[in-house]
A and B are shown apart, each in its own frame.
Chain A
């Protein structure tokens, strides 16, 4: 057969396929009953795969929650989007009728701002960004939201400081952006507070990956922290349970106990012998609030800049302390933490009384003792209060070069917390 003949067959085939698909598809779509007039479509852009079982997975849980809850809402998503692909993906969504875009990564901050200017009728919600980074260029149809973890990191730090045997604690960070630096600092402040009560010397070794989702590098860095620096607690900011799996393997294969914490999603099942607690998120609370307000018209394309700036924490129920939902502390370690006791001063006693917890005080030889577990529960109550009566970022706080950064009695404000670029004392940054 002549190649020319083959080619002409192929050409006819292509044309037939195009016409055929067009006709079929028009037929298929026209037979579907149109949605209710108020209905709208929202799209989620994810930086990693849903199967990461961390950050992106938690966002998708929130998306599925609102999808099931509201019959008038249609949602979709795209996984593993890079900043370069963001525009292509969002334009595709907008041209398919999506009116609300959730950009769930810090990487998408500048592209979101640019696209929001280009499509003024579409509502953009960016997770983890803030207007200070945009230097006054924020368009009116771009809002921000974030569920903040630093209170939980502080509580985890208390546990880490109480449990560590070597006095060396590791932290594998994704990046050194203010969000992560804030979390590292809160964790270190907790560990140092526990160390102060228990007369320990504690150092927090910090290292970074340079990416949000990179399980292999996260594992390698965790391994390096253990073998080179002798840490026996590892907290992390990475979007997968890779480090938890690493710790569980160390426990199962060598009997070496390295404590660790769930991050964003309930990772307890990946390391039931090593996960002490963790920081968990309820994105659905924020998504439900946003979607409802978009539906009722409270949020519209002209007021997102001024009215949408979620910064939700324990008080709002957007975050939860836990190895998994409903399990604040792994029972395996809860008893251990209850046995670690320390002597309290009058200030702490007054705080306990204010929350009706004076029963936990044990008196031995006229000295008053409570356990680390009691302290954690007290702090949890204080920070969940309508007006939180405790904040880990209260002075005096020293940077790791010895400078006094926050004077005694002063609480850091939101601007300071969102631009924090120094580490607290006790933190050693590796390889910088």
Chain B
């Protein structure tokens, strides 16, 4: 007879260990699934994960995918640390993209880049923040479930972008559902033509990660955010304003997603607003995984977002080489999500399997060792 003994660990396994094991196990699972489809896993690992990276050309794609994930991810880390479940990074990103487009094409199409680009990021942050703040206010004032509101606000943002690109902002030359290309002053400068990673976003991304690290772990506001996140009632008892913290957390969370939205339009080639699914591209959802995989630590999010970027490139390469359809990237990310969810439980609980010699012998032991 088999017995499972589940015990709560006195000291949970650190996030870093759980994450590393999850990454390893999930890659093994993904490769096992690919093997079942007749793909040689050795060639897959070499061709998809190693060759693009050691020969260098894969890195620009990795970073172009990692940057929006990093920005959305560190935003989510703020919200999650405050115990607010922001699922709306997609919508907040799109609002940032809309405002950046408005500035680039209609508000100041003829101003120099040094004015336009900072303003796009500033107002993109505010726009994404306000979109997040709507859910924040609803939660703090009337205790409306923020999972539902942020999720539903995503769809509002999707439809808003659809309306703009198929209506008033549609490209008049081709009638295609995209806006006109931005003027050169509103296009983010790239590292080089062969390595088209937007420099402003790269700087803002890394700077934001450190900024959020200091904010969360070495400031009064960060202390309040963490206090509300771990125990709202205790935080209230200590005189921390729950309402204020939730609203600030949602504003900042949405703001960083908004920055990713600015990058998605102004950093694209050509720079323009497109249909919503081509702007947010699911980054807002995958960023949830980035945040959790980083153990809600902003600096670690740099590494986890790069890892997701590698998954994007590797998935694409496997699709190119083995013609596996379009789901290979999702296979990697999906198995990682699954394994990480299991690991989150195993961090806190240990499971032992015991084989007892007889079916009829009823163990008198307690559930201890």
Q: Do A and B bind each other?
A: yes
Q: Of B13, B52, B61, B174, which contacts A178 at CB under 8 A?
A: B174
Pair B43/A28 contact, Cβ less than 8 Å: yes
A67 to B121, CA, bound (A): 48
Pair A21/B46 contact, Cβ less than 8 Å: yes
Determine how close the nearest CB of chain B comes to the CB of A221; give it in whole angstroms. 14
Pair A10/B176 contact, Cβ less than 8 Å: no
A77 to B326, CA, bound (A): 12
A114 to B272, CA, bound (A): 15
Any chain B CB within 8 A of the CB of A62?
A: no
Pair A25/B46 contact, Cβ less than 8 Å: yes
Pair A83/B274 contact, Cβ less than 8 Å: yes
Q: Of A95, A106, A111, A208, which contacts B52 at CB under 8 A?
A: A95
A211 to B178, CA, bound (A): 11
Q: Of A49, A95, A111, which contacts B57 at CB under 8 A?
A: A95
0 or 1 for each of B17-57: is its CB under 8 Å from A? (1 = yes): 10011001000000000000000001101110010100101
Determine how close the nearest CB of chain A comes to the CB of B267; give it in whole angstroms. 10
Binds B, one of A85-93, A234-242, A268-276: A85-93
Pair B320/A92 contact, Cβ less than 8 Å: yes
Pair B46/A22 contact, Cβ less than 8 Å: yes
Q: A21-B50, A93-B320 are in contact. Are A106 and B176 (CB under 8 A)?
A: yes
Q: Which of B252-277 contact A (CB under 8 A)?
A: 268-270, 274-275
Determine how close the nearest CB of chain B comes to the CB of A410; give it in whole angstroms. 24
Pair A210/B269 contact, Cβ less than 8 Å: no
Any chain A CB within 8 A of the CB of B196?
A: yes
0 or 1 for each of A94-113: is its CB under 8 Å from B? (1 = yes): 01100000000010001100
Pair B46/A175 contact, Cβ less than 8 Å: no
Residues of B within 8 A of A83 (CB): 274, 278
Determine how close the nearest CB of chain A comes to the CB of B71; give it in whole angstroms. 16
Pair A84/B42 contact, Cβ less than 8 Å: no
Any chain B CB within 8 A of the CB of A20?
A: yes
Determine how close the nearest CB of chain A comes to the CB of B203; give it in whole angstroms. 22
A117 to B278, CA, bound (A): 24
Residues of B within 8 A of A211 (CB): 275
Determine how close the nearest CB of chain B comes to the CB of A13; give it in whole angstroms. 8
Pair B316/A87 contact, Cβ less than 8 Å: no
Residues of B within 8 A of A88 (CB): 61, 64, 312-313, 316
Determine how close the nearest CB of chain A comes to the CB of B292; give it in whole angstroms. 19
Q: Give the tally of cross-chain contacts (CB within 8 A).
A: 110
Q: Of B17, B58, B270, which contacts A3 at CB under 8 A?
A: B17
A96 to B162, CA, bound (A): 37
Pair A91/B278 contact, Cβ less than 8 Å: no
Pair A82/B24 contact, Cβ less than 8 Å: no
A6 to B21, CA, bound (A): 9
Any chain A CB within 8 A of the CB of B362?
A: no
* Smallest Cβ-Cβ distance to B312: which chain A residue: A88
Residues of A within 8 A of B316 (CB): 78, 85, 88-89, 92
Determine how close the nearest CB of chain A comes to the CB of B4; give it in whole angstroms. 18
0 or 1 for each of A1-32: is its CB under 8 Å from B? (1 = yes): 00100110010011001101110110010000
Q: Of B24, B43, B326, which contacts A80 at CB under 8 A?
A: B326
Pair A21/B268 contact, Cβ less than 8 Å: no
Residues of B within 8 A of A111 (CB): 269
Q: Of B20, B269, B320, which contacts A78 at CB under 8 A?
A: B320
* Smallest Cβ-Cβ distance to A119: which chain B residue: B194
Any chain A CB within 8 A of the CB of B179?
A: no
Pair B275/A210 contact, Cβ less than 8 Å: yes
A88 to B312, CA, bound (A): 10
0 or 1 for each of A176-220: is its CB under 8 Å from B? (1 = yes): 111001000000000000000000000000001011000000000
Pair A133/B173 contact, Cβ less than 8 Å: yes
Pair B281/A7 contact, Cβ less than 8 Å: no
Any chain B CB within 8 A of the CB of A335?
A: no
A24 to B281, CA, bound (A): 36
Any chain B CB within 8 A of the CB of A228?
A: no
Residues of A within 8 A of B320 (CB): 76, 78, 89, 92-93, 96
Residues of A within 8 A of B196 (CB): 87
Any chain B CB within 8 A of the CB of A79?
A: yes
Residues of A within 8 A of B52 (CB): 92, 95
Determine how close the nearest CB of chain B comes to the CB of A25; give it in whole angstroms. 4
Q: Of B17, B50, B281, which contacts A22 at CB under 8 A?
A: B50
Pair A114/B57 contact, Cβ less than 8 Å: no
Residues of B within 8 A of A82 (CB): 278, 281
A171 to B19, CA, bound (A): 52
Pair B24/A14 contact, Cβ less than 8 Å: yes
Residues of A within 8 A of B177 (CB): 175, 210
Pair B175/A421 contact, Cβ less than 8 Å: yes
Determine how close the nearest CB of chain B comes to the CB of A109; give it in whole angstroms. 9
Q: Which of B219-275 contact A (CB under 8 A)?
A: 268-270, 274-275
Any chain B CB within 8 A of the CB of A118?
A: yes
Residues of A within 8 A of B13 (CB): 3
Any chain A CB within 8 A of the CB of B317?
A: yes
Pair A175/B176 contact, Cβ less than 8 Å: yes
Pair B269/A87 contact, Cβ less than 8 Å: yes
A247 to B306, CA, bound (A): 48
Pair A7/B17 contact, Cβ less than 8 Å: yes
Q: Which of B320-355 contact A (CB under 8 A)?
A: 320, 323, 325-326
Determine how close the nearest CB of chain A comes to the CB of B197; give it in whole angstroms. 11
Determine how close the nearest CB of chain A comes to the CB of B11; give it in whole angstroms. 11
Pair B181/A110 contact, Cβ less than 8 Å: yes
Residues of B within 8 A of A210 (CB): 162, 166, 177, 275
Q: Which of B281-333 contact A (CB under 8 A)?
A: 281, 312-313, 316-317, 319-320, 323, 325-326
A178 to B55, CA, bound (A): 42
Closest 10 CB pairs of A and B: A88-B61, A21-B46, A80-B326, A176-B175, A21-B42, A25-B46, A95-B57, A3-B17, A110-B270, A21-B45
Interface residues of A (CB under 8 A from B): 3, 6-7, 10, 13-14, 17-18, 20-22, 24-25, 28, 49, 76-80, 82-85, 87-89, 91-93, 95-96, 106, 110-111, 114, 117-118, 133, 175-178, 181, 208, 210-211, 421
Q: List 19 A-B contacts (CB under 8 A).
A: A7-B20, A10-B21, A17-B45, A24-B42, A24-B43, A49-B326, A77-B323, A78-B319, A79-B323, A85-B316, A87-B61, A88-B316, A91-B57, A95-B57, A133-B174, A176-B175, A208-B166, A211-B275, A421-B175
Q: A89-B316, A96-B320, A133-B174 are in contact. List 18 more A-B contacts (CB 8 A).
A: A3-B13, A7-B20, A7-B21, A10-B24, A13-B24, A17-B45, A22-B50, A76-B320, A78-B320, A79-B319, A83-B278, A87-B196, A88-B312, A95-B52, A177-B176, A181-B175, A210-B162, A210-B275
